[in-house]
Structure 1
Amino acid sequence: MLIRKTIPEGLVISVADFKNRIRFEGAPDEEKDDIERIIRSATTRYETRTRRTMLPTEFEWRAPGWSCIEIPVAPIRSEFVVVYLDPAGTEQTLDPSQWQAHVNEDRGARIEFNGSSFARPALSTTTWLPVRVRFSAGYDDPEQSGSGDDPVLSQNPMDVQAIFMLAAHWYANRTTASDKPITSVPAGFEELSDERRIYG
């Protein structure tokens, strides 16, 4: 079970860039809050569909036991920390020598415990999902210093375009008083997100 521990403050597409791309003709601060909400909602929709994390975010993956753990989140930004709740409900950190992380930069990660040599510490029987893997994931915030220094963590133009398409569509159809037929998402968004989706 994936738990999102932080909510990024940044935006994949800045409000100013969004307004420029849709040729917004109002005042600089006009509709700023509405546009920001639309961009965040479009980003969340894209992340849910593709399993990609668009901005740096802290996560925790929770599991019921010591089986191999598949983490379908990309890109991974940090080292992993594996902790567990012991029978007394006290959090313990598992020694890194007891497990291995295999990261695929475009597919997520797999945590494997060291087979027959793994001591398999006793776990809490009163806590749901007592094994926890903590890590950070997400592409660089384009507004932050150093963004783009690591190609693996650079924003992909296809991701940004898909989010823009959906946000622009929702912005154009944000009221029901429209003579245009309203569809849930533009076809281009589905095609781009399907191409960038992480399967597994």
Structure 2
Amino acid sequence: MKIAEFVAENPIVAVIVGCEIALWVVLFLGLAVRYLLRLRRTSSVILALIPLIDVVLLVAVAIDMSRGAELGWVHIAAAYYLGVSVAFGPALVRYVDVRFAHRFAGGPPPQPKPRYGAAKHRALWQEWYRVVAAAAIASAVSLALIVFFADPRAQEMLWWSIGRAWFIVGLWFVFGPMVKPKPESASPTVPVRR
């Protein structure tokens, strides 16, 4: 099957790809306006468009389903994408913002990710909370699809996808905040030359 045929049969795939491209275009445009053109208010307006990209995806899924599309893995992928985008989006914007400001506007260098001790443990918990939020949003979208659009076979697939999202949350917990990071005293020290 050619890509064009695949996208024609699954238009939500094109919407997901378009939303991802739009995210990066809007993000870099907003930061360029802020740091290169020094138009902070205009930049804030541009960056405020980022959540609207998620709304476009949600509306596209609803329209696709209301037109009688057969619920499939692309709709589940859209639910996951929406969850990850909403939960991790603000952290992504902050991450890119600090680096853009440092590179183009003389801002302070980005702080490295903590590798040891309590700071590392806090970072692992914050990341896990984002994963929980992503799973909750994906589950809410999937539940809406179950209630409004899914036939019995599709309902089974959606319930399975919800279970898989929470299984990932559990794994992330086991391999994330549950693992006790090395104490700060274990961090490598740079020898002092005399």
Quickly name the TM-score band, shorter chain normalised.
under 0.3
Normalized per residue, which structure has more helix? 2
With structure 2 as the length reference, what TM-score do the two structures score?
0.25
TM-score with structure 1 length normalisation? 0.24
The structure with the largest strand share of the pair is 1
